[in-house]
Structure 1
Amino acid sequence: MWGCCDHVPGLTLHLISPRWFPFSFAFAPGFWLFLPFRSPLPLFVLLLGAVGFGFFIAVRASDVHASSSPIMGFIGNALYYSFHPMQLRAIIQWKVWHNPPHERNEKNETENQKLCFKFLDLTSRSFSAVIKELHPELLMPVCIFYLVLRGLDTVEDDTSIPLVTKEPILRDFKNYLTQEGWNFTGNRPEEKDRELLVQFNHVVTEFMNLKPEYQTIIKDITDRMGNGMADYAVKAESDDASVKTKEEYDLYCYYVAGLVGEGLTRLFVEAEFGNPALMKRPRLHKSMGLFLQKTNIIRDIREDFDDNRRFWPQEIWSKHVDNFEDLFKPEHLDAALNCSSEMVLDALEHAEECLFYLAGLREQSVFNFCAIPQSMAIATMELCFRNPDIFKKNIKITKGDACHLMHKSTQNLSVLCDSFREYTRKIHKKNTPKDPNFLKISIVCGQIEKFIETIFPTQTAEAAQRKVTGELTAAEAKRKEEDDQNKNDIWFMMGLMGVIVVIVAGLMIFAAWMMGARFDLAFKELTQGNFRPPKSIAHGEL
């Protein structure tokens, strides 16, 4: 949405089929009483039963445990969620109870429009979900806007395209949007979104079907972004492409994401879903884009380094290490963490203006569309803050945390501010006096909380009086009731599962007894301490 920010985990859930439920309980409880002490099989069966039990409550979440084997990946995820039930609960609640404000009506779509949404799914699973829930007035404009910029980005990212070819394409991309039938086949075969440009003629067709006002906005942003990318490509060809100063860093983030924020804001205001005053304060939509892009750059430091790309400004990292490569060396870990803290500090300075911007949105689906990535960004920022793993691998928040954040982000600004306050406090808690920017980080965290407090005060004179008397507000009483209900639901589910285990185990034991199982011998062996199966003894000649 706001640039290259595909960091939201996929939302596709795969619950195990109910037909497996009996087996998942039966594997262990039934057979362990009459087999255990005569073969090594029971321990394996017991373990298999535990895994089977985990299967029925687990979802396939590839971002938790990646594996080359789908089966092993599924087992890993099942075990993970068995020990993290609140994560699983958040996923199921989002999948079952999320009620989108608008739903895409495929019956009224042309084949060309369906193909555009197919490319939307292929190029961004995360943004695809929130775009499809937009108001019908903005559904196609935002979809086409995203695909146009994704196509532009695909040309810019492909290092196999020579500058003599790449530069004119980037600068003229806006003109191709009205050139019927235009497509591009010059990407290397392994380029991820190559197919989008190969069939870009479908995007061109839908672009020309948009309202003229929307076309003007999309063309203008495409023109400015394309020229910015071309300038950067020329610089990379003739000079060191790494970012030197914080001003260059902000400018790069603006071209990549800030312009997208401006374009979306103009679309929202044109559709009368945003306050026109948003256009009079460009710093607000600029901060929306920069906050997301800077989060990505902080999180992807290892991946970018492996691809020989450097987006952390030299003005920042040179304060902590002599060479950029030193950030990834164990002996410079403390300096690297201090450097990452300064990067987080730089990004957090945009948080207040992001919340200010969100207050100017008038339509629920538009609010959801903008709020979800922002809540993901502050959570990712907290995950990256003073986390040495960012220098070792690409990290991201769990699917359960993502679903919990999406649930809170799709309600209202007050609930979203609660999320910002929560993660800001976590960052403040992780802050250490050993960090050279300790004081600055503490101040910016305090400023974010103060800003939220000015919008949604946590305590008024009336609230203070109620606190003294022990009374609860209607909202507090409702929240307490919901918390109590949630606890009761968990205990009920655990009790129900226990009853099912007992019933199925009893049936299996009864079936084993009917088939001649000798439980008396099993218990006799147990009381004698014979936990291993008896060894076979060779007999001699009779």
Structure 2
Amino acid sequence: FFAKKKKDSTGNSSLSRRFVSLRSRHAVCIFYLVLRALDTVEDDMSIPLDKKVPMLNDFHTYLYQDEWCFTESQEKDRQVLEDFPTISLEFRNLAQEYRDVISDICHRMGVGMAEFLEKKVGSMKEWDQYCHYVAGLVGIGLSQLFSASQLEDPEVGRDTELANSMGLFLQKTNIIRDYLEDTQDGRVFWPREAWSQFAGRLEDFAQPEKLESALSCLNLLVTDALRHVPDVIAYLSRLRNQSVFNFCAIPQVMAIATLSTCYNNPMVFQGVVKIRKGQAVTLMMEATNMTAVQTIITQYSQEILQKVSVSDPSRDKTLHILAVIQEKSALSQSSLASRTHHRSPMYLSAAMLLAALSWQYLSASATQVQGTGDMQGQ
């Protein structure tokens, strides 16, 4: 069952999960499946709100109900709800420290999802809050699992601010990239505070005559997402376990490459925007140590810098955050002399597997749904 769900899942999380050490792999898989089930409830438009809201609020309690399942879902991932007794049984077989983390994150995420069911993302602060509920909490939970398994220092699990930023960076990148798909499906994730500066309706950005305004809003949101990169650098710099580092770093470098592709790109409003297959393979193969990750971050930061227009309304903020990223990366680089990440034989084998499977990420990236599908890092 678990192998099948891992194979069927979409996004870079399904690939990066392959790197998690045996010590915590089972807990991470159960964590993923529990949140996938929760996300399936949130996404299912066939469930009426008066039924969905209590389900989301109470979902964490189903982990301790032997026979609870939901067979009325119309979503493509409905199997995780139909077979939930299998998942909850495996959850109950986990060590207590893992159960506590998973149950707590599931509870907080369900409450947050229920809150945003009946309201749209208005302010930039609410955008942060929504992304915290659906992705930041995933980063926090994963960090706590890494510490609970003793793969990483307790500090990694305690510093929820950095872990939250890891999730927010990934989620905001997906929301920015998926503008057209989401608006066509009637979903609104771009914050009103941002888009209302440039248009009367979010859907207007898809009109050719609104391109200049659309790009201004796009660049504003990319700039906002970039402010999480210094925290990403700080978080990754703390990691000591090779498999955990690979697991966390790959989605982050994919995200900054995606943001570079999206920045000032009219295609965001016209079709599918994604990084090239060869580019993805290179990133997955190279993102194995902090020096390489910082080189990648610097490369894509420079690419964005070269695209900044003198007339862009967010120009000053964009230039400022890019300068902060460069400074943070340089400072972190100078502190790496005392430690090095090594490529283990196990990693090299996994990397070859990643190269062979990279098409899975790329074909899925265009259809990746919002929410816990991007966990890792969702």
Superposed pair shares fold, TM > 0.5: yes
2:80 to 179, 188, 196: 196
In structure 2, what is the equivalent of residue 273 of structure 1? 151
Which residue does the alignment assign to 1:119?
5
Cα pair 2:145 2:157 within 8 Å, conserved: no
**CA shift at 1:280, angstroms?**
4.2
Check the 8 A contact 1:382/1:424 in 2, yes or no: yes
Distance (whole Å) between structure 2 residues aligned to residue 223 and residue 452 of structure 1: 35
| TM-score normalized with structure 2 length | 0.86
Q: Which residue of 2 aligns with 1:393?
A: 271
Question: How do 1:10-409 and structure 2 match up within 5 A?
Answer: 115-124=1-10, 126-188=12-74, 191-233=75-117, 235=118, 241-409=119-287
Which residue of the partner structure matches residue 23 of structure 1? Answer: none
CA distance in 1 between counterparts of 2:156 and 2:253 reads: 20
Q: State whether residues 225 and 256 of structure 1, in contact with CA within 8 Å, keep that contact through their aligned partners in structure 2.
A: yes
Partners in 1 of 2:264 and 2:282 — Cα distance? 23
Cα distance in 2 for partners of 1:300, 1:284 equals 25
Aligned position for 1:86: none
Q: Is the 8 A contact 2:12 2:251 kept in 1?
A: no
Q: CA deviation at 1:274?
A: 2.1
Instruction: For 2:12 and 2:163, locate their aligned partners in 1 and report how far apart those are by CA, in whole Å.
Output: 21
- Work out the percentage of aligned pairs sharing the same amino acid: 44
- 1:322 CA displacement: 2.8
Instruction: Tell me which residue corresponds to 2:345.
Output: none
Which amino acid in structure 2 is aligned with residue 302 of structure 1? Answer: L
Which residue does the alignment assign to 1:69? none
> Does the CA-based 8 Å contact 1:382-1:423 persist in structure 2?
yes
Q: Distance in 1 between matches of 2:319 and 2:184?
A: 32
Over aligned residue pairs, what C-alpha RMSD do you find? 1.6
* Counterpart residue type for residue 178 of structure 2: D
Summarize the alignment of residues 483-502 of structure 1 with structure 2, pairs less than 5 Å apart.
none
Match of 1:449 in 2: 326
Aligned length in residues: 336
Gaps of 5+ in 1: 1-114, 236-240, 461-542
SS at match of 1:394: coil
Is the alpha carbon distance of 1:126 and 1:277 closer, same or farther for their aligned partners in structure 2, counting shifts above 3 Å? closer
Choose from 287, 294, 300 the match for 1:417. 294
Distance of 1:174 and 1:168 partners within structure 2? 11
CA contact (8 A) 2:16 2:251 kept: no
Greater radius of gyration (CA): 1
- Highest relative contact order (Cα 8 Å, sep 6+), 1 or 2? 2
Which digits, 9 at most, give the CA deviation of each residue in 1:26-66, with x for residues without a partner? xxxxxxxxxxxxxxxxxxxxxxxxxxxxxxxxxxxxxxxxx
Task: Give the structure 2 partner of residue 434 of structure 1.
Answer: 311
Output the amino acid matched with 1:376: M
Q: For the residues of structure 2 that align with 1:316 and 1:124, how far apart are their CA atoms?
A: 29
Q: Show the counterpart of 1:508.
A: none
d(CA) in 1 for partners of 2:274, 2:47: 31
Measured against aligned partners, the alpha-carbon deviations of 1:206-259 in whole angstroms (never above 9, x if no partner) come to: 1111111101110000011111112222x2xxxxx3211011111000000011
Equivalent position SS for 2:238:
coil
How far residue 398 of structure 1 moved from its aligned partner, in angstroms, is: 1.6
Q: Write the distance in 1 (CA, Å) between the matches of 2:106 and 2:265.
A: 36
Cα deviation for residue 198 of structure 1 reads: 1.1
Any conservation in 2 of the 1:171–1:226 contact (CA below 8 Å)?
yes
- Alpha-carbon distance in structure 2 between the residues aligned to 1:207 and 1:449: 42
**SS of equivalent to 1:359:** helix
Aligned equivalents of 1:325, 1:306: Cα separation in 2: 8
Aligned amino acid, residue 267 of structure 2: D
- Which range moves more in the overlay, 383-392 or 127-136? 127-136
Return the offset for 1:457: 4.6
C-alpha distance in structure 1 between counterparts of 2:49 and 2:8, whole Å: 27
Shift of residue 166, structure 1, vs aligned partner: 1.1
Q: Please report how far the alpha carbon of residue 125 of structure 1 lies from its aligned counterpart in structure 2 after TM superposition.
A: 6.0
Q: Distance in 2 between matches of 1:129 and 1:171?
A: 30
Could you tell me whether the CA contact under 8 Å between 1:117 and 1:143 is conserved in 2? no
User: Amino acid of the residue matched to residue 115 of structure 2?
Assistant: D
1:197: how far off? 1.2
The amino acid that maps onto 1:157 is D
